[in-house]
Structure 1
Amino acid sequence: MNLSRHEYVEPPWTEHQMDAYEQARSLLSEVIAAYSARIASTDAETADQLRAQRAAHLRERQSLTAGHTARVEEIRATLPGILTLLRERDQ
Structure 2
Amino acid sequence: MSEEENNMKWYEQLFCGLPIALISIGGAVGGLCGGLAFALNISVFSKELSTGKKYLFTSLITLGAVISYFIILVVLAIVFPETFA
TM range (shorter): 0.3 to 0.5
TM-score, normalization by structure 2: 0.40
TM-score, normalization by structure 1: 0.38
Higher RCO structure, 1 or 2 (CA under 8 Å, sep 6+): 1
Larger Rg: 1
